[in-house]
A and B are shown apart, each in its own frame.
Chain A
Amino acid sequence: MANEREPDIGQMWRQQPQERQTMALEQIRAKATAFDAKVKRWYLVGGSLVAVLLAKNAWEVWIDTDVLERAGDALIFLALLFVIVRFRRYARAEAEPATLGLTSCFEHYRSRLMRQRDLSRDSWKWVLLFVPGFGVNVIGGVMEIRTPSQIAALIAFGVATFAGVLWMNARTARQLEREIDALESQ
């Protein structure tokens, strides 16, 4: 292989000026600790937010007198629980730094693409979960004080937003699918 090589290019590459940046072990440990702390903080903030939402919906199920609103809150509560389970599974699938050496670049890149594709492709499931709860809630809340045309406009707006989100995610999923195909055809 050395004979086939254009020798100056390899030399030029390897002899280019460099900063020679080094990291002391203490610095690496500090970085790793800071990274872990950041991840924990992120989970804590996310978990707290979801806990507050769960508590709010549970409370509303308890105190609401309107049957429709009560049913809507209960459905949102269940949807939140389901999202927590799905999110935990998704977060666990993230490759840990310790395992990066076990996976070839091809496998690692493909798994990242597939993960993002699946997330985009399945996003409708995440959004759809909340539709019944919000739908029932909105209908229960506005039915008495809005005209039928206003209710229809509200529903149309909700459906259009939902469809827009779905379209964008489906487009992203298709792009990722093409990238995966190109990768696998190598």
Chain B
Amino acid sequence: MEERYAEVARTFGAALERLAGAYERDPEARRDLLQEIHVALWRSLARYDGRCSLRTWVYRVAHNTAISRVVRPRSSAPSLVAIDDDLDSLTEAGDREDGIDRRRALDRLYELIQRLRPLDRQVMLLYPEEEDTASIAEITGLSVANVSTKVHRIKRILVRQFHEATHHGE
């Protein structure tokens, strides 16, 4: 189990750090969440029986841990939005700047992610990690068609919001 954990930490360490950063922007809270995810992973690996890929397992544990800790439905639910319903509110053209750099673009991406409802947030986080639609569906439990729709919308948001920023930062 310890070898498997070491492998997981080596392979997914960076992605888990990005994931924690997307749930918690405060550095101290982010470190706490990341540690909590690692502890949950270490504990969970004893139960890993290969019924899904290790990748799916790791992302499920990480996202479920983050959701349990960070998303408190009572207070946060009303202010969160869905990718499907609020595309325009997420990407108001007037809110864009032409000359923003990479750092600003990343900050904006994090802001965007934190405004999303939990499952949309998870899809939004898995997509830039180069997860394909089927993998995202397996991790989140959404249908492949649903994930495809969400990914399509995410692409539109990202292109509208960050196209200029990413080219500017080159």
A123 within 8 A of B: no
| Pairwise interchain contact A8-B167, C-beta atoms closer than 8 A | yes
Q: Which residues of B contact A98 (CB under 8 A)?
A: 43-44, 46-47
| Pairwise interchain contact A100-B65, C-beta atoms closer than 8 A | yes
A52 within 8 A of B: no
| Pairwise interchain contact B155-A5, C-beta atoms closer than 8 A | yes
What bracket does the count of chain A residues touching chain B fall in?
A: 35 or more
A-B contact count (CB 8 A): 157
Give chain A nearest CB distance to B153 CB in angstroms: 13
- Summarize B's interface: helix, strand, loop or mixed: helix
Given the interface contacts A9-B166, A20-B13, does A100 sit within 8 Å of B64 by beta carbon?
yes
Type the 1/0 row for A1-39, where 1 means its CB is closer than 8 Å to any CB of B: 110111011101110101111110100100110010000
Among A41-49, A74-82, A137-145, A178-186, which stretch is in contact with chain B? A178-186
| Pairwise interchain contact B169-A12, C-beta atoms closer than 8 A | yes
What is the bound-complex CA distance between A18 and B34, given in angstroms? Answer: 12
User: What residue in chain B is nearest A176 (Cβ atoms)?
Assistant: B73
| Pairwise interchain contact B73-A104, C-beta atoms closer than 8 A | no
| Pairwise interchain contact A106-B119, C-beta atoms closer than 8 A | yes
Q: Which of B40, B73, B82, B139 contacts A113 (CB 8 A)?
A: B73
Type the 1/0 row for A151-186, where 1 means its CB is closer than 8 Å to any CB of B: 000000000000000000000100110110011001
8 contacts between A and B (CB under 8 A): A12-B162, A16-B18, A20-B14, A21-B17, A97-B65, A100-B64, A103-B64, A113-B73
Q: Which of A8, A20, A99, A178 contacts B166 (CB 8 A)?
A: A8
B115 within 8 A of A: no
What is the bound-complex CA distance between A9 and B142, given in angstroms? Answer: 24
What is the bound-complex CA distance between A183 and B140, given in angstroms? Answer: 12
Given the interface contacts A23-B35, A101-B60, A104-B141, does A116 sit within 8 Å of B73 by beta carbon?
yes
